[in-house]
Structure 1
Amino acid sequence: MLETEAEVAALQELLDKSHGSSTDHLRSIIKDERVLSARDLVALLTGMKVINVATVTAHGEPRISALDGHFLHGTWTFGTDGSAAKARHIKARPAVSVAHVDNEELAVFSHGRAERLDESDPGWEEVIGHWTAHYGSSPLSWGDDIAMYRFYPHWMVGYTANRTELLRDRGITP
Protein backbone atom coordinates (compact mmCIF):
# COMPACT_ATOMS: atom_id res chain seq x y z
CA MET A 1 0.00 0.00 0.00
CA LEU A 2 1.66 3.18 -1.21
CA GLU A 3 -1.27 5.52 -0.54
CA THR A 4 -0.85 8.46 1.81
CA GLU A 5 -3.59 9.37 4.28
CA ALA A 6 -4.55 12.28 2.01
CA GLU A 7 -4.85 9.93 -0.99
CA VAL A 8 -7.01 7.48 0.98
CA ALA A 9 -9.23 10.36 2.13
CA ALA A 10 -9.57 11.69 -1.44
CA LEU A 11 -10.41 8.20 -2.72
CA GLN A 12 -13.03 7.80 0.02
CA GLU A 13 -14.56 11.15 -0.91
CA LEU A 14 -14.74 10.05 -4.57
CA LEU A 15 -16.30 6.69 -3.63
CA ASP A 16 -18.90 8.34 -1.38
CA LYS A 17 -19.78 10.95 -3.99
CA SER A 18 -20.00 8.35 -6.76
CA HIS A 19 -22.16 5.94 -4.78
CA GLY A 20 -24.39 8.76 -3.59
CA SER A 21 -24.97 10.05 -7.13
CA SER A 22 -25.55 6.60 -8.63
CA THR A 23 -28.90 5.47 -9.97
CA ASP A 24 -31.45 3.82 -7.73
CA HIS A 25 -30.84 0.61 -9.67
CA LEU A 26 -27.11 0.58 -8.91
CA ARG A 27 -27.69 1.47 -5.25
CA SER A 28 -30.20 -1.41 -5.01
CA ILE A 29 -27.35 -3.75 -5.97
CA ILE A 30 -24.46 -2.05 -4.19
CA LYS A 31 -26.24 -1.60 -0.86
CA ASP A 32 -24.39 -0.09 2.07
CA GLU A 33 -23.22 -3.47 3.40
CA ARG A 34 -21.77 -4.29 -0.06
CA VAL A 35 -19.83 -1.05 -0.48
CA LEU A 36 -16.04 -1.25 -0.32
CA SER A 37 -14.25 1.64 1.37
CA ALA A 38 -11.08 3.32 0.19
CA ARG A 39 -9.12 1.47 2.87
CA ASP A 40 -10.64 -1.81 1.67
CA LEU A 41 -9.66 -1.09 -1.94
CA VAL A 42 -6.06 -0.10 -1.26
CA ALA A 43 -5.65 -3.25 0.84
CA LEU A 44 -7.34 -5.51 -1.73
CA LEU A 45 -5.89 -4.09 -4.95
CA THR A 46 -2.22 -4.87 -4.39
CA GLY A 47 -0.02 -6.43 -7.05
CA MET A 48 -1.17 -6.89 -10.62
CA LYS A 49 -4.90 -7.02 -11.29
CA VAL A 50 -6.51 -7.70 -14.66
CA ILE A 51 -8.47 -4.61 -15.59
CA ASN A 52 -10.80 -3.98 -18.49
CA VAL A 53 -10.28 -0.61 -20.15
CA ALA A 54 -12.99 0.69 -22.45
CA THR A 55 -12.10 3.25 -25.12
CA VAL A 56 -14.02 4.73 -28.04
CA THR A 57 -13.11 4.74 -31.73
CA ALA A 58 -13.31 7.84 -33.94
CA HIS A 59 -16.72 6.56 -35.10
CA GLY A 60 -18.02 6.36 -31.50
CA GLU A 61 -17.78 2.58 -31.34
CA PRO A 62 -16.80 1.14 -27.96
CA ARG A 63 -13.74 -1.07 -27.60
CA ILE A 64 -12.62 -2.98 -24.52
CA SER A 65 -9.25 -4.50 -23.70
CA ALA A 66 -7.96 -6.55 -20.80
CA LEU A 67 -4.73 -5.11 -19.40
CA ASP A 68 -2.42 -5.50 -16.45
CA GLY A 69 -3.38 -2.87 -13.91
CA HIS A 70 -1.54 -1.74 -10.82
CA PHE A 71 -3.45 0.33 -8.23
CA LEU A 72 -0.97 2.94 -7.00
CA HIS A 73 -1.74 6.02 -4.91
CA GLY A 74 -5.48 5.44 -5.13
CA THR A 75 -5.79 4.94 -8.88
CA TRP A 76 -4.86 2.60 -11.70
CA THR A 77 -1.71 2.60 -13.78
CA PHE A 78 -1.58 0.49 -16.92
CA GLY A 79 0.47 0.13 -20.06
CA THR A 80 0.32 -1.00 -23.66
CA ASP A 81 2.30 -0.74 -26.84
CA GLY A 82 2.12 2.77 -28.26
CA SER A 83 0.99 1.37 -31.63
CA ALA A 84 -2.03 -0.42 -30.12
CA ALA A 85 -5.49 0.78 -31.13
CA LYS A 86 -6.29 1.62 -27.51
CA ALA A 87 -3.25 3.93 -27.37
CA ARG A 88 -4.53 5.80 -30.43
CA HIS A 89 -8.03 5.97 -28.94
CA ILE A 90 -6.76 7.35 -25.63
CA LYS A 91 -4.57 9.93 -27.36
CA ALA A 92 -7.55 11.25 -29.33
CA ARG A 93 -10.26 10.66 -26.71
CA PRO A 94 -8.81 10.21 -23.20
CA ALA A 95 -12.18 9.45 -21.57
CA VAL A 96 -12.15 5.78 -20.57
CA SER A 97 -13.92 3.38 -18.26
CA VAL A 98 -11.93 0.95 -16.14
CA ALA A 99 -13.28 -2.13 -14.35
CA HIS A 100 -11.72 -4.86 -12.27
CA VAL A 101 -14.01 -7.81 -11.53
CA ASP A 102 -12.95 -10.80 -9.44
CA ASN A 103 -15.90 -13.17 -9.72
CA GLU A 104 -18.72 -12.00 -7.44
CA GLU A 105 -16.31 -11.36 -4.59
CA LEU A 106 -14.95 -7.98 -5.64
CA ALA A 107 -15.63 -5.40 -8.33
CA VAL A 108 -14.44 -1.86 -8.95
CA PHE A 109 -16.10 0.19 -11.69
CA SER A 110 -14.86 3.63 -12.70
CA HIS A 111 -15.06 6.34 -15.32
CA GLY A 112 -12.52 9.08 -15.95
CA ARG A 113 -9.63 9.89 -18.22
CA ALA A 114 -6.30 8.26 -18.94
CA GLU A 115 -3.15 10.30 -19.25
CA ARG A 116 0.04 8.99 -20.81
CA LEU A 117 2.98 9.24 -18.46
CA ASP A 118 6.50 10.27 -19.39
CA GLU A 119 9.79 11.03 -17.69
CA SER A 120 8.61 14.53 -16.72
CA ASP A 121 5.77 13.13 -14.58
CA PRO A 122 6.65 13.42 -10.87
CA GLY A 123 5.56 9.81 -10.27
CA TRP A 124 7.33 8.33 -13.29
CA GLU A 125 10.25 6.73 -11.46
CA GLU A 126 7.97 5.21 -8.83
CA VAL A 127 5.57 3.75 -11.43
CA ILE A 128 8.37 2.29 -13.54
CA GLY A 129 10.12 1.02 -10.40
CA HIS A 130 6.94 -0.66 -9.14
CA TRP A 131 6.27 -2.34 -12.48
CA THR A 132 9.92 -3.40 -12.82
CA ALA A 133 9.92 -4.94 -9.34
CA HIS A 134 6.72 -6.83 -10.10
CA TYR A 135 7.76 -8.25 -13.50
CA GLY A 136 11.52 -8.49 -13.07
CA SER A 137 12.13 -6.23 -16.06
CA SER A 138 11.27 -2.67 -16.93
CA PRO A 139 8.09 -2.32 -18.98
CA LEU A 140 10.07 0.13 -21.10
CA SER A 141 12.17 -2.82 -22.31
CA TRP A 142 9.13 -4.62 -23.74
CA GLY A 143 9.00 -2.68 -27.00
CA ASP A 144 10.07 0.42 -28.88
CA ASP A 145 7.11 2.57 -27.80
CA ILE A 146 5.62 1.39 -24.52
CA ALA A 147 2.86 3.72 -23.36
CA MET A 148 2.30 3.91 -19.61
CA TYR A 149 -0.87 5.55 -18.29
CA ARG A 150 -2.32 6.89 -15.09
CA PHE A 151 -6.10 6.86 -14.73
CA TYR A 152 -7.84 9.91 -13.25
CA PRO A 153 -11.32 8.79 -12.15
CA HIS A 154 -14.24 11.15 -11.70
CA TRP A 155 -16.60 8.29 -10.71
CA MET A 156 -15.76 5.05 -8.92
CA VAL A 157 -17.60 2.43 -6.89
CA GLY A 158 -16.36 -0.69 -5.16
CA TYR A 159 -18.59 -3.73 -4.61
CA THR A 160 -18.49 -7.00 -2.75
CA ALA A 161 -21.18 -9.60 -2.16
CA ASN A 162 -19.99 -10.06 1.43
CA ARG A 163 -17.48 -7.52 2.79
CA THR A 164 -16.73 -9.33 6.07
CA GLU A 165 -16.09 -12.63 4.31
CA LEU A 166 -14.00 -11.06 1.52
CA LEU A 167 -11.71 -9.20 3.92
CA ARG A 168 -11.37 -12.22 6.22
CA ASP A 169 -10.61 -14.59 3.32
CA ARG A 170 -7.96 -12.23 1.96
CA GLY A 171 -6.33 -11.71 5.37
CA ILE A 172 -7.35 -8.09 5.78
CA THR A 173 -8.44 -6.69 9.13
CA PRO A 174 -11.23 -4.13 8.72
Structure 2
Amino acid sequence: MRETPEELRRLQELLDTSLTRSTGHLRSIIRTDRTLTAEQLTRVLTGMCTLALSTVTAKGEPRISGADGHFLHGTWYFGTARTAAKARHLAARPAASAAHMRGEELGVFTHGDAVTLNPESGEPDPAWPELLAYFKDFYGEDAFRWDEEVVFYRLDPHWMTVFAPDAAGLGVA
Protein backbone atom coordinates (compact mmCIF):
# COMPACT_ATOMS: atom_id res chain seq x y z
CA MET A 1 0.00 0.00 0.00
CA ARG A 2 1.57 3.27 -1.15
CA GLU A 3 -1.28 5.61 -0.29
CA THR A 4 -0.96 8.41 2.23
CA PRO A 5 -3.81 9.05 4.70
CA GLU A 6 -4.83 12.05 2.55
CA GLU A 7 -4.88 9.92 -0.63
CA LEU A 8 -7.02 7.31 1.14
CA ARG A 9 -9.41 10.03 2.33
CA ARG A 10 -9.76 11.44 -1.22
CA LEU A 11 -10.26 7.95 -2.67
CA GLN A 12 -12.94 7.14 -0.10
CA GLU A 13 -14.70 10.41 -0.86
CA LEU A 14 -14.58 9.62 -4.60
CA LEU A 15 -15.97 6.11 -4.05
CA ASP A 16 -18.77 7.44 -1.82
CA THR A 17 -19.81 10.32 -4.08
CA SER A 18 -19.59 8.19 -7.22
CA LEU A 19 -21.95 5.60 -5.81
CA THR A 20 -24.33 8.29 -4.52
CA ARG A 21 -24.46 9.91 -8.00
CA SER A 22 -25.01 6.59 -9.78
CA THR A 23 -28.28 5.35 -11.20
CA GLY A 24 -30.72 3.39 -9.09
CA HIS A 25 -29.98 0.33 -11.21
CA LEU A 26 -26.26 0.47 -10.42
CA ARG A 27 -26.95 1.12 -6.73
CA SER A 28 -29.18 -1.98 -6.68
CA ILE A 29 -26.13 -4.02 -7.73
CA ILE A 30 -23.32 -2.19 -5.93
CA ARG A 31 -24.68 -1.71 -2.43
CA THR A 32 -22.68 -0.68 0.62
CA ASP A 33 -22.46 -4.35 1.65
CA ARG A 34 -21.11 -5.31 -1.80
CA THR A 35 -18.25 -2.87 -2.20
CA LEU A 36 -14.90 -2.09 -0.63
CA THR A 37 -13.53 0.83 1.33
CA ALA A 38 -10.60 2.80 -0.05
CA GLU A 39 -8.23 1.02 2.32
CA GLN A 40 -9.54 -2.42 1.35
CA LEU A 41 -9.30 -1.55 -2.34
CA THR A 42 -5.64 -0.54 -2.06
CA ARG A 43 -4.87 -3.87 -0.37
CA VAL A 44 -6.56 -5.81 -3.21
CA LEU A 45 -5.13 -3.87 -6.18
CA THR A 46 -1.45 -4.69 -5.89
CA GLY A 47 1.07 -5.35 -8.62
CA MET A 48 -0.09 -5.34 -12.22
CA CYS A 49 -3.84 -5.48 -12.81
CA THR A 50 -5.08 -5.98 -16.37
CA LEU A 51 -7.30 -3.09 -17.45
CA ALA A 52 -9.87 -2.88 -20.20
CA LEU A 53 -9.16 0.69 -21.27
CA SER A 54 -11.59 2.65 -23.41
CA THR A 55 -10.59 5.67 -25.47
CA VAL A 56 -12.39 7.68 -28.15
CA THR A 57 -11.52 8.11 -31.85
CA ALA A 58 -11.70 11.40 -33.75
CA LYS A 59 -15.14 10.27 -35.03
CA GLY A 60 -16.34 9.82 -31.44
CA GLU A 61 -16.27 6.03 -31.66
CA PRO A 62 -15.24 4.10 -28.55
CA ARG A 63 -12.21 1.82 -28.70
CA ILE A 64 -11.26 -0.68 -26.03
CA SER A 65 -7.90 -2.31 -25.50
CA GLY A 66 -5.91 -3.99 -22.78
CA ALA A 67 -3.37 -2.21 -20.62
CA ASP A 68 -1.18 -3.05 -17.65
CA GLY A 69 -2.74 -1.12 -14.79
CA HIS A 70 -0.98 -0.24 -11.55
CA PHE A 71 -3.10 1.18 -8.73
CA LEU A 72 -0.85 3.59 -6.86
CA HIS A 73 -1.64 6.61 -4.70
CA GLY A 74 -5.37 5.93 -5.09
CA THR A 75 -5.58 5.92 -8.87
CA TRP A 76 -4.69 3.95 -11.99
CA TYR A 77 -1.41 4.29 -13.87
CA PHE A 78 -0.85 2.60 -17.22
CA GLY A 79 1.44 2.75 -20.21
CA THR A 80 1.51 1.98 -23.90
CA ALA A 81 3.76 2.35 -26.91
CA ARG A 82 4.08 5.94 -28.10
CA THR A 83 2.95 4.68 -31.55
CA ALA A 84 -0.21 2.93 -30.27
CA ALA A 85 -3.65 4.09 -31.37
CA LYS A 86 -4.67 4.66 -27.75
CA ALA A 87 -1.72 7.06 -27.33
CA ARG A 88 -2.99 9.11 -30.31
CA HIS A 89 -6.54 9.03 -28.93
CA LEU A 90 -5.46 10.17 -25.47
CA ALA A 91 -3.24 12.94 -26.87
CA ALA A 92 -6.26 14.43 -28.66
CA ARG A 93 -9.05 13.40 -26.27
CA PRO A 94 -7.88 12.52 -22.75
CA ALA A 95 -11.24 11.21 -21.52
CA ALA A 96 -10.95 7.50 -20.76
CA SER A 97 -12.66 4.69 -18.88
CA ALA A 98 -11.00 1.69 -17.29
CA ALA A 99 -12.37 -1.54 -15.90
CA HIS A 100 -10.51 -4.16 -13.90
CA MET A 101 -12.50 -7.35 -13.34
CA ARG A 102 -11.71 -10.62 -11.63
CA GLY A 103 -14.54 -12.96 -12.50
CA GLU A 104 -17.57 -12.18 -10.35
CA GLU A 105 -15.42 -11.43 -7.30
CA LEU A 106 -14.25 -7.92 -8.15
CA GLY A 107 -15.05 -5.12 -10.56
CA VAL A 108 -13.40 -1.70 -10.39
CA PHE A 109 -14.86 0.82 -12.83
CA THR A 110 -13.30 4.24 -13.40
CA HIS A 111 -14.03 7.26 -15.61
CA GLY A 112 -11.61 10.16 -15.82
CA ASP A 113 -8.99 12.00 -17.79
CA ALA A 114 -5.60 10.58 -18.72
CA VAL A 115 -2.63 12.78 -17.83
CA THR A 116 0.65 12.12 -19.64
CA LEU A 117 3.48 11.55 -17.18
CA ASN A 118 6.41 11.51 -19.61
CA PRO A 119 5.59 13.55 -22.72
CA GLU A 120 7.93 13.39 -25.72
CA SER A 121 8.57 17.10 -25.36
CA GLY A 122 8.08 19.35 -22.40
CA GLU A 123 8.46 18.73 -18.72
CA PRO A 124 7.46 15.39 -17.20
CA ASP A 125 4.86 15.25 -14.45
CA PRO A 126 6.42 15.96 -11.02
CA ALA A 127 5.52 12.41 -9.92
CA TRP A 128 7.32 10.82 -12.91
CA PRO A 129 10.72 10.14 -11.25
CA GLU A 130 9.11 8.12 -8.42
CA LEU A 131 6.83 6.29 -10.83
CA LEU A 132 9.63 5.58 -13.29
CA ALA A 133 11.62 3.98 -10.46
CA TYR A 134 8.56 1.85 -9.59
CA PHE A 135 8.02 0.78 -13.24
CA LYS A 136 11.72 -0.02 -13.77
CA ASP A 137 11.67 -2.11 -10.61
CA PHE A 138 8.49 -3.89 -11.75
CA TYR A 139 9.34 -4.48 -15.43
CA GLY A 140 13.13 -4.38 -15.29
CA GLU A 141 15.58 -1.58 -15.87
CA ASP A 142 16.15 -2.63 -19.49
CA ALA A 143 12.59 -3.61 -20.43
CA PHE A 144 12.08 -0.54 -22.64
CA ARG A 145 13.86 2.49 -23.95
CA TRP A 146 11.93 4.39 -21.30
CA ASP A 147 12.17 7.88 -22.79
CA GLU A 148 11.58 6.80 -26.39
CA GLU A 149 9.29 3.77 -26.63
CA VAL A 150 6.66 4.10 -23.92
CA VAL A 151 4.31 6.73 -22.64
CA PHE A 152 2.74 6.44 -19.22
CA TYR A 153 -0.46 7.98 -17.93
CA ARG A 154 -2.27 8.65 -14.69
CA LEU A 155 -6.05 8.31 -14.93
CA ASP A 156 -7.38 11.23 -12.89
CA PRO A 157 -10.77 9.86 -11.90
CA HIS A 158 -13.97 11.81 -11.61
CA TRP A 159 -16.03 8.64 -10.99
CA MET A 160 -15.05 5.26 -9.55
CA THR A 161 -17.01 2.40 -8.12
CA VAL A 162 -16.19 -1.08 -6.85
CA PHE A 163 -18.24 -4.26 -6.97
CA ALA A 164 -17.02 -6.83 -4.41
CA PRO A 165 -19.77 -9.08 -3.06
CA ASP A 166 -17.39 -11.00 -0.76
CA ALA A 167 -14.65 -8.89 0.81
CA ALA A 168 -13.64 -11.84 2.99
CA GLY A 169 -13.07 -13.93 -0.14
CA LEU A 170 -10.67 -11.23 -1.35
CA GLY A 171 -8.85 -11.37 1.98
CA VAL A 172 -9.74 -7.83 3.05
CA ALA A 173 -12.80 -8.20 5.31
Normalised TM-score (structure 1):
0.92
Would you identify which runs of 4 or more consecutive aligned residues in structure 1 move more than 6 Å?
A: none
Gaps of 5+ in 2: none
SS of the residue corresponding to residue 14 of structure 1 reads helix
Match status 1:52 vs 2:52:
yes
Closer, same or farther in 2 for the Cα pair 1:138/1:2, shift >3 Å? farther
Q: CA RMSD in A?
A: 1.5
Counterpart amino acid of 1:32? Answer: T
Asked if structure 2 preserves the Cα contact closer than 8 Å seen for 1:7 and 1:74, the reply is yes
Asked if structure 2 preserves the Cα contact closer than 8 Å seen for 1:108 and 1:157, the reply is yes
Query: What are the equivalent positions in structure 2 for 1:79-158 lying under 5 Å apart?
Result: 79-118=79-118, 120-137=124-141, 140-141=144-145, 144-158=148-162
1:41-75 Cα offsets, whole Å, 9 max, x none, are 11111100001110010011110011101111000
Asked if structure 1 preserves the Cα contact closer than 8 Å seen for 2:117 and 2:154, the reply is yes
Q: In 1, Cα distance between the equivalents of 2:129 and 2:79?
A: 15
Asked if structure 1 preserves the Cα contact closer than 8 Å seen for 2:75 and 2:156, the reply is yes
**Deviation for aligned residue 1:116:** 0.7
Counterpart amino acid of 2:139? Answer: Y
**Deviation for aligned residue 1:21:** 0.7
Q: How many residues align?
A: 169
What is the match of residue 160 of structure 1? 164
Counterpart amino acid of 1:122? Answer: P
Closer, same or farther in 2 for the Cα pair 1:103/1:27, shift >3 Å? same
What is the match of residue 34 of structure 1? 34
Closer, same or farther in 2 for the Cα pair 1:114/1:139, shift >3 Å? farther
Gaps of 5+ in 1: none
Normalised TM-score (structure 2):
0.92
What is the match of residue 78 of structure 2? 78
**Deviation for aligned residue 1:136:** 1.8
